A and B are shown apart, each in its own frame.
Chain A
Amino acid sequence: SQKIEQNSEALNIQEGKTATLTCNYTNYSPAYLQWYRQDPGRGPVFLLLIRENEKEKRKERLKVTFDTTLKQSLFHITASQPADSATYLCASQGSSNTGKLIFGQGTTLQVKP
């Protein structure tokens, strides 16, 4: 079955460093991948979408890559700040064109001052 996997262990980094989160998918080839941010007690908030024909996408300090050979997406936050501390969810398109998303478990990022 289609599966999205993220590192369930929390990622702790020092302020100013680059955080890199990984998302791997198996058993299918999604047309796009998305990244969401979720703060405690709140709903996920969309950050970036990258399509299969795009290698890289940037938005301010965020960068996402999509490697269809490795079946992997990397999410980078450069010059990280304590305010970037949150859980980051990777999601991919499901098998049909209904807009259904398959979510990973999320990776919690903690940026220490």
Chain B
Amino acid sequence: NAGVTQTPKFQVLKTGQSMTLQCAQDMNHNSMYWYRQDPGMGLRLIYYSASEGTTDKGEVPNGYNVSRLNKREFSLRLESAAPSQTSVYFCASRSGRDTQYFGPGTRLTVL
């Protein structure tokens, strides 16, 4: 039981490049979330998926897109990376008891 896994762990992009962050969970949870964490800002919700086939915007969705590929996988795409998107990205899934389980994070630097 791996919990929530994320790939890659580290990534460096140039401004304007695109990339997809992958997330998978093996706990059979319906809801999944993408957050970004910046110093002094706490965790901010980018997008979430309440169930397979549905996605919705969070607090800071601009510049991102998501795909809920199936119940296990929820990916986050940066179409044209900007330096302001330099951050640590966390994926999480939610149990039926309202607690969230987080992945190890992806550290992204946009030059």
> Which A residues are closer than 8 A to B by beta carbons?
4, 8, 32, 34, 41-46, 49, 89, 91, 93, 98-101, 103-106
Residues of A within 8 A of B35 (CB): 103
> Taking the complex as formed, is B45 at the interface, i.e. its CB lies under 8 A from any CB of chain A?
yes
Considering only residues 2-56 of chain B, those with a C-beta below 8 Å from chain A are 4, 31, 33, 35, 40-45, 48, 50, 56
Category for how many chain B residues contact A: 20 to 34
Contact A105 B104 (CB under 8 A): no
Contact partner, A89, options B40, B41, B42, B45, Cβ 8 Å? B42
* CB atoms of A99 and B40 under 8 A apart: no
A9 to chain B minimum Cβ distance, whole angstroms, is: 12
Q: Which residue of A lies closest to B56 (CB)?
A: A98
Contact status A49-B97, CB under 8 Å: yes
Inter-subunit contact A42/B104 (CB<8 Å): yes
Interface: B102 (CB within 8 A):
yes
Q: How far is the CB of A5 from chain B (nearest CB, A)?
A: 10
Q: Is B99 an interface residue (CB 8 A)?
A: yes
Which chain B residue has the least Cβ–Cβ distance from A5?
B42
Most-contacted residue by chain A among B4, B35, B102 (CB, 10 A): B102
Chain A residues, Cβ within 8 Å of B41: 105
Pick the contact of B94: A32, A45, A99 (CB < 8 A): A99
Residue with the greatest number of chain B CB neighbours at <10 A, chosen from A4, A8, A99? A99
Closest-CB distance, B28 to chain A (whole angstroms): 15
Query: Does B64 belong to the interface (CB within 8 Å)?
Result: no
A49 and B104 contact, Cβ closer than 8 Å, known pairs A100-B58, A104-B42: no
B45 touches A49 (CB 8 A): no
Residues B50 and A99 in contact, CB atoms below 8 Å apart: yes
B105 in contact with A99 (CB, 8 Å): no
With A42-B105, A49-B97 as contacts: A98 and B43 at CB distance below 8 Å: no
